[in-house]
Amino acid sequence: MNALVAVPALIWVTVLVVVGGLALLRGQDVLQRLIALDLLAVLVVALLALLSYLRDVPHYLDAAVALALLSLVATVATARYLATGGPLE
């Protein structure tokens, strides 16, 4: 992909990751922080995909798919843990 397109996109996604950290800090509930964390994982997946396009190396997308898998497992496990009220109930 043309570097003229990929580099501004990378910079923009980096800005979005920083603002996503702000959204993570602003969450009032643990579920709102979980939502912001899921969004951050998706932003990092996009960052890895753009890096793969820029450098023309497909292996960064391996890391992106693995990160999406880990993010799904973490989100579902945390949500089910919170839905049942924790280990004390």
Partner 1 sequence: MISVVLDVVGGLLLVIGLGLMTIALIGVLRMPGTYSKLHAQSLATGPGVCCVLASSVATENAGTISYAAVGIVFTVLTAPVASHAIARAARRRGAEAEPR
Least CB distance from residue 89 to partner 1, whole Å? 11
35 binds partner 1 (CB under 8 A): yes
Q: Does 83 bind partner 1 (CB under 8 A)?
A: yes
Residue-by-residue DSSP string for 34-85:
HHHHHHHHHHHHHHHHHHHHHHT-THHHHHHHHHHHHHHHHHHHHHHHHHTT
Burial class (CB in 10 A: 0-12, 13-18, 19+), 50: buried
Residue 51 within binding range of partner 1, rule CB under 8 A: no
> Would you tell me which residues interact with partner 1 (CB under 8 A)?
1-2, 5, 9, 12-13, 16, 19-20, 22-23, 26, 29, 31-32, 34-36, 38-39, 42-43, 45-46, 49-50, 52-53, 56, 58, 61-62, 64-65, 68-69, 71-72, 75-76, 79-80, 82-85
